[in-house]
A and B are shown apart, each in its own frame.
Chain A
Amino acid sequence: MTVVLSAIGITKAFPGTVALQDVDFDVHAGAVNVLIGENGAGKSTLTKILVGVERPTLGTISMLGEKVSFSSVRDAASKGIGIVFQEVNLCPNMSVTENIFLGRDITRAGFHIDRGAQRARAAELLGRLEHNIDPDTLVADLMIGQQQIVEIAKALAEDARILIMDEPTSALSASEVEVLFKVIGELKRAGVAIIYISHRLEELIRIGDYFTVLRDGRLAAAAPREEVSIPWIISKMLGSENVLPKRPPAVPAGPAILEVEHLSLPRRGAGMAVDDVSVTFRTGEITAIYGLLGAGRTELFESLYGLRGGATGSVRLEGVELGSRSVNHRMKAGLLLVPEDRQRDGLVQNLSVGGNLGLASLRRFTRFFSISKAAETPLLSQVIDQLHIKTAGADAPITSLSGGNQQKVVIGKSLLTQPRVLLLDEPSRGIDIGAKAEVFNTMRDLADQGLAIIYTTSDLKETHGVADRILVMAYGRITADLRAEEATDEALVRASTYQFDTAAA
């Protein structure tokens, strides 16, 4: 097989971090070139460089021996590189045909769009993909799986020689996946090089020809199909180092406090975001929920917290049914969610550290309709001490704190409402390794004080080191429920890609 594109020594530095360091990547024509790695390993940065969205800090890219550089998406496309993004990137207000030819209309005399030719070509492309979607349909009227097909048609319309697919199956049903794989087979025979990114190991083993594994921005391994197995991928992906020393629980897990029965949440369009989840959480216990993006972890938390109207099933906190209660009621009952995106949902940038900490529990310091400094100050300094928040004081601006300390402020804000159960959605996202350790220590302390702590993570290293119990979610269901000491990496990764036979429905 000929190497159609070769990236050598690619380094990409962002202010503060190095996303890619000295990575080599060969793309073989007529083959599926698999790119694997955990979230944050550098896969998306590498693909962004290949399609001209980002430029490498160091390193060279050559196509068929000739050195190239891509100044824009348009430039990369003109050199035969197309991409199907993970999230669908279509204009919902335009038809299928218009979307396929957006930015590269077939014209007469350079300005008159040849609608007939475009519609015919669109129909031909969709036919090649075995989808007879009407080319005049509005994209907003299509289901997600069909939109994905349109994305692929759009990439094919360019006569791409290299086609990047970033988790193309994450939104597809089992039968749609089969169609996609057939299309991939055809493209391979036509000599198209496919760069395929996915977390679903079974899929990769099935269709991959060459495997490249990234870890923490570096090349961890590269091998052809014959030398690759699922355990090989997992070991290369995770490495061996264990960054977070486990601290044993000071008190054994207590009684059940949060009982969830048959909780379901339909996904917009089709399928289930949360599919019949029944689970019980106990006081003094830290539970990790591991899963891939889109496994339904955030949706589970939001359903528990009353943010999703369509959720059905039973949620009981200390035996009291929360049922249809509002977020406000659930907060008062002692259930609290710390959201994933703390910049957007967690912090008010123009308030001080103290202003943010007190925001959810103003009633506690309010005396005769005004905030009492005398009541507020001791509570704030108590929380700052308890969580070891490094700040010049409660009056310091929130922006003066590091990411980890900002995250602690979000947690501290929750603690002031005196919760019994704390849900933390990706608490370690976007903070450095030292800050992570502190946040996890804080979680341990809180559990030892008798709280039930439940958090989500996409990072295997953050499961064993922190949790007492690990749940794995895939396709909206809980696919594993293990004690931390029993859970092996392989068991967790397998459970996270577990595909139910019912997915076709």
Chain B
Amino acid sequence: MSTATATGMRGQAGNGSALLLVLKLRTFIALIAVTLFFALMAPNFVSVANAVIISKHVAINAILAIGMTYVILTGGIDLSVGSIVGLTGMVAGGLLVHGMPLAMFGVVIYPNVVEVILIALFVGTAIGAINGLLITKLGVAPFIATLGTLYVARGAALLLSGGATFSNLVGKPELGNQGYPVIGSGNLFGVPISVLILVLMALVAAYVAQRTPFGRKVYAVGGNERAAALSGVRVDRVKIAVYMISGFCAAVVGLIVSSQLVASHPASGETFELNAIAAAVLGGTSLSGGRGLIGGTIVGAFVIGVLSDGLVMMGVSEFWQMVIKGLVIIAAVVLDQLQRRLAANTRQG
């Protein structure tokens, strides 16, 4: 009986599958379409310089979206990432400009750039851990828990400087903390460092998601939490881990952004969380959890990046850009529903 069914299913897969394939690859097709459109419509769009600029813009959103994808895969959401971007940037800026005052000894310690980076990454990851603990141990809904940390982290960023900007983050030779701007503006073999960071993080994230037991557990928790728990998966740990990953990714972005500007501004990163969610959803991640790919998210981030930069180059007003971006996201979700219904029909009929 099962033999008949299996072959039957394989046979049917042939039929409606052309359309299904188009729908499955829709984000990729959209990326190509958008790129072709601007290549024809916007002068100077096709150039190495422009590609580098777009990639640098995309890197910021895409790195955030990687962490967001992990969170959404477990069925959660992380609204706090934009604020973590602001806070970690301020932590790094503060350490470079004012150092770490140790009141009891009456001295100020100036950590070097590597130490600054590690401290900022630690802060971001720790906020992620707090999110995870609130959600798992105290049972706060992810939306609410991360909404809370969104405000707390933003407030903390403002408190660090009293609302002011830490500027000129170049360090001083006598303090041994020079070199910070390299993260945001440096190049290696002509490729911006931030883009290299994106590539590295995307590869690791995709590998972990697809080929490690941890990745499997992430998908399992999002697919059927009860079944995962009964299979011996420690659901709480998996959830805490994904929020830590998200916090870590946000800290990386906080460093890149403040380094690019050679200044950290406490309002930096506002609404970044929404762009990250948009990239993940555009890339095919299901908000109900258990479905999505890192690769899809990266392509989604590129669609958003190419779209906004292209529209700028065409001279479309910022207001229209927002309308267009919104419509694209809605269209992506509608197509996603269509694909699922079609896939279900192919299965049954």
User: Can you list 22 A-B pairs with a CB-CB distance of less than 8 A?
Assistant: A73-B229, A90-B224, A90-B227, A91-B223, A91-B224, A92-B224, A98-B216, A102-B227, A102-B228, A102-B231, A103-B213, A103-B228, A103-B231, A103-B233, A111-B214, A112-B211, A112-B212, A113-B216, A137-B9, A143-B5, A146-B5, A176-B1
Best-surrounded residue of B5, B226, B230 (most CB of chain A within 10 A) = B230
In the complex, what residue of chain A is closest to B346 when comparing beta carbons?
Answer: A141
- Residues of chain B within 8 A (CB-CB) of A111 are 212-214
Are B212's CB and A93's CB within 8 A? no
**With A111-B212, A112-B211 given, is the CB distance from A89 to B1 under 8 Å?**
no
**With A113-B213, A141-B347 given, is the CB distance from A133 to B6 under 8 Å?**
yes
As a 0/1 sequence over residues 59 to 81 of chain A, the CB contacts with chain B under 8 angstroms (1 = contact) are 00000000000001110010000
Does B290 interact with chain A (Cβ within 8 Å)?
Answer: yes
Does B232 interact with chain A (Cβ within 8 Å)?
Answer: yes
**With A93-B291, A94-B223, A113-B211 given, is the CB distance from A146 to B2 under 8 Å?**
yes
Alpha-carbon gap, A146 to B9, bound state (A): 14
Are B220's CB and A132's CB within 8 A? no
Does B243 interact with chain A (Cβ within 8 Å)?
Answer: no
Other-chain residue from A73, A98, A105 in contact with B230 (beta carbon distance below 8 A): A73
Does B219 interact with chain A (Cβ within 8 Å)?
Answer: yes
Alpha-carbon gap, A5 to B114, bound state (A): 57
**With A112-B211, A113-B213 given, is the CB distance from A91 to B219 under 8 Å?**
yes
Does A329 interact with chain B (Cβ within 8 Å)?
Answer: no
Are A89's CB and B232's CB within 8 A? no
- Write the nearest CB–CB distance from B348 to chain A, whole angstroms: 10
Does A104 interact with chain B (Cβ within 8 Å)?
Answer: yes
Given A98-B216, A98-B219, A132-B6, 7 more A-B residue pairs with CB atoms under 8 Å apart are: A73-B230, A91-B219, A92-B290, A93-B224, A102-B233, A131-B2, A141-B347
- Write the nearest CB–CB distance from A363 to chain B, whole angstroms: 36
Does B222 interact with chain A (Cβ within 8 Å)?
Answer: yes
**With A111-B212, A112-B211 given, is the CB distance from A93 to B233 under 8 Å?**
no
Residues B197-246 near A (CB distance < 8 A): 211-214, 216-217, 219-220, 222-224, 226-233
Are A133's CB and B232's CB within 8 A? no
- Residues of chain B within 8 A (CB-CB) of A115 are 211
Does A490 interact with chain B (Cβ within 8 Å)?
Answer: no
**With A111-B212, A146-B2 given, is the CB distance from A93 to B223 under 8 Å?**
yes
- Residues of chain B within 8 A (CB-CB) of A366 are none
Does B47 interact with chain A (Cβ within 8 Å)?
Answer: no
Other-chain residue from B2, B227, B290, B291 in contact with A89 (beta carbon distance below 8 A): B227
Other-chain residue from B6, B216, B222, B226 in contact with A102 (beta carbon distance below 8 A): B216
Residues B1-47 near A (CB distance < 8 A): 1-3, 5-6, 9
- Residues of chain A within 8 A (CB-CB) of B229 are 73
As a 0/1 sequence over residues 122 to 148 of chain A, the CB contacts with chain B under 8 angstroms (1 = contact) are 000000000111100100010100100
Does A85 interact with chain B (Cβ within 8 Å)?
Answer: yes
Other-chain residue from A94, A107, A154 in contact with B220 (beta carbon distance below 8 A): A94
- Write the nearest CB–CB distance from A501 to chain B, whole angstroms: 17
- Residues of chain A within 8 A (CB-CB) of B213 are 103, 105, 107, 111, 113
Does A377 interact with chain B (Cβ within 8 Å)?
Answer: no
Alpha-carbon gap, A34 to B88, bound state (A): 60
Alpha-carbon gap, A85 to B219, bound state (A): 21
- Residues of chain A within 8 A (CB-CB) of B214 are 111
Are A77's CB and B227's CB within 8 A? no
Are B2's CB and A132's CB within 8 A? yes
Does A175 interact with chain B (Cβ within 8 Å)?
Answer: yes
Best-surrounded residue of A90, A91, A98, A101 (most CB of chain B within 10 A) = A91
In the complex, what residue of chain A is closest to B207 when comparing beta carbons?
Answer: A112
Give the total of A residues in contact with B, Cβ under 8 Å: 34
Give the total of B residues in contact with A, Cβ under 8 Å: 28
**With A77-B232, A90-B227 given, is the CB distance from A103 to B2 under 8 Å?**
no
Alpha-carbon gap, A132 to B229, bound state (A): 28
- Write the nearest CB–CB distance from A387 to chain B, whole angstroms: 36
- Write the nearest CB–CB distance from B79 to chain A, whole angstroms: 24
- Residues of chain B within 8 A (CB-CB) of A89 are 224, 226-227, 230-231
- Write the nearest CB–CB distance from A125 to chain B, whole angstroms: 14
Are A134's CB and B6's CB within 8 A? yes
Alpha-carbon gap, A137 to B227, bound state (A): 18
As a 0/1 sequence over residues 294 to 309 of chain B, the CB contacts with chain A under 8 angstroms (1 = contact) are 0000000000000000
Are A94's CB and B212's CB within 8 A? no
Best-surrounded residue of B211, B219, B226 (most CB of chain A within 10 A) = B211
Are B223's CB and A103's CB within 8 A? no
Alpha-carbon gap, A483 to B230, bound state (A): 44
In the complex, what residue of chain B is closest to A83 when comparing beta carbons?
Answer: B230
Are B6's CB and A73's CB within 8 A? no
- Write the nearest CB–CB distance from A360 to chain B, whole angstroms: 31
- Residues of chain A within 8 A (CB-CB) of B233 are 102-103
- Write the nearest CB–CB distance from B342 to chain A, whole angstroms: 14
- Write the nearest CB–CB distance from A97 to chain B, whole angstroms: 10
In the complex, what residue of chain B is closest to A141 when comparing beta carbons?
Answer: B347
Alpha-carbon gap, A77 to B231, bound state (A): 9
Residues B301-323 near A (CB distance < 8 A): none
- Write the nearest CB–CB distance from B151 to chain A, whole angstroms: 28
- Residues of chain A within 8 A (CB-CB) of B219 are 91, 93-94, 98
The 10 closest A-B pairs by CB, nearest first: A91-B223, A74-B232, A93-B223, A93-B290, A89-B227, A103-B231, A103-B232, A105-B213, A91-B224, A102-B231
- Residues of chain B within 8 A (CB-CB) of A131 are 2
**With A90-B224, A132-B6 given, is the CB distance from A85 to B230 under 8 Å?**
yes
- Residues of chain A within 8 A (CB-CB) of B1 are 175-176
Alpha-carbon gap, A113 to B6, bound state (A): 26
Alpha-carbon gap, A98 to B217, bound state (A): 10
Are B231's CB and A73's CB within 8 A? yes
Alpha-carbon gap, A105 to B232, bound state (A): 12
Alpha-carbon gap, A111 to B347, bound state (A): 34
Alpha-carbon gap, A53 to B230, bound state (A): 8
Are B232's CB and A73's CB within 8 A? yes
- Write the nearest CB–CB distance from B35 to chain A, whole angstroms: 31
- Write the nearest CB–CB distance from A30 to chain B, whole angstroms: 26
Alpha-carbon gap, A462 to B233, bound state (A): 41
- Write the nearest CB–CB distance from B325 to chain A, whole angstroms: 28
In the complex, what residue of chain A is closest to B230 when comparing beta carbons?
Answer: A89
- Write the nearest CB–CB distance from A79 to chain B, whole angstroms: 12
- Residues of chain B within 8 A (CB-CB) of A92 are 223-224, 290
Alpha-carbon gap, A391 to B212, bound state (A): 58
- Write the nearest CB–CB distance from A96 to chain B, whole angstroms: 11
- Residues of chain A within 8 A (CB-CB) of B227 are 89-91, 102
Other-chain residue from B5, B6, B212, B228 in contact with A91 (beta carbon distance below 8 A): B228
- Residues of chain B within 8 A (CB-CB) of A176 are 1
Alpha-carbon gap, A98 to B229, bound state (A): 15
Alpha-carbon gap, A134 to B2, bound state (A): 10
In the complex, what residue of chain A is closest to B9 when comparing beta carbons?
Answer: A141
- Residues of chain A within 8 A (CB-CB) of B6 are 132-134, 137
Are A103's CB and B224's CB within 8 A? no
